Amino acid sequence: MKIEDFFNQNPVFRTEDVDAFLSQNGTATPARRNPLLAYHRKQGRIVNIKRGVYAAVGYDSSPESVQVDPYLLAGKLTADSVLAYHTALESHGKNYSIFNTFYYLSKLNHPTFSFQGCVYHCIKFPLQLQRTGHETFGIESIERFGIDIHVTGLERTLVDVLDRPDISGSWEEIWRSLETVEFFDIEKVIDYTLLLDNSTTAAKVGLFLDQHRDTLLIEDHHLQRLYALRPKQPCYLERSKRQPGTLVPVWNIVVPETILNQTWSQVL
């Protein structure tokens, strides 16, 4: 395969991808790779988005007009990039609204940056998952423009957006997005919740599943494992905001009326 074929098949790629291609055709070394990329960049065949990340320019386009798919770019920003939180909902087509901020997971911190009107924000894998070696739990591969990228599955995403509502949108956005999902593997949802080992998150997941017993076919035995992890003392849905609401005793969590009754008043 020629380098032109590689560009045609890889609209967004990393230097590691180029190295893998060169390895199939000889030896992959920076001394061989860097001049090759520099040449094609000068020819207007590729653009350098950020260090180590490139986009191919189609023959009917130019470096100035090429439009890069933001989901594919987010999935290629780091070698271990995983689309997550609201971006995962969008990737699965289960979002209520569209955001122009794209969230991805990585083991290391990476600076937030903007490209073509979109903001790309890195979130480190939860520390509890790193401690126990479960960073990859519930992660799937999806194909986008012929490229495989990683994204959190719907079960993990359900828990993640409830765990981090600060980066997942309003409660209306979270609830309405999750309600578009017809089926969850409930045992997998609970397994992941327990891996996070966070009592407030367990209460939020329990609350959501309780509210959707009929549509998600939730039974008592599904929730029994979450009960032991629920908070020992009453806590707020969002500790930082401490919004007034009603205490739901079974989960020991104070929930705003808009969520209990789903009377959405917040403007998105």
Q: What is the pLDDT of residues 6-21, one digit of tens each?
A: 999 999 999 999 999 8
For the segment 90-118, the average pLDDT, to the nearest whole number, is 95
Residue 49 belongs to domain spanning: 3-56
Does 211 reside within a domain?
A: yes
Shared domain for 199 and 169, answered yes or no, is: yes
Residue 62 forms part of a structural domain: no
Give domain status of residue 45, yes or no. yes
- Identify the pLDDT of residue 23: 86
Do 138 and 49 sit in the same domain of this protein?
Answer: no
169 vs 38, residue with greater confidence:
38
Check whether residue 207 and residue 247 sit in a common domain.
yes
Q: Is residue 266 part of a domain?
A: no
**How many independent structural domains does the chain possess?**
2
Instruction: Give the number of other Cβ atoms within 10 Å of residue 133's Cβ.
Output: 8
pLDDT, position 28: 64
Check whether residue 8 and residue 86 sit in a common domain.
no
| Residue 96, pLDDT above cutoff 90 | yes
Q: For residue 135, is it within any domain?
A: yes
User: Are residues 18 and 114 both part of a single domain?
Assistant: no
d(CA 54, CA 148): 16
Exposure letters 232-244 (e unless 16+ CB within 10 A, then b)? eeebbbeeeeeee
In a domain, 40, yes or no: yes
Q: What SS3 state is found at 168?
A: coil
The alpha carbons of the chain give a radius of gyration, in whole angstroms, of 22
Residue 205 · residue 158 · CB < 8 Å: yes
Task: Find the mean pLDDT for residues 142-166.
Answer: 96
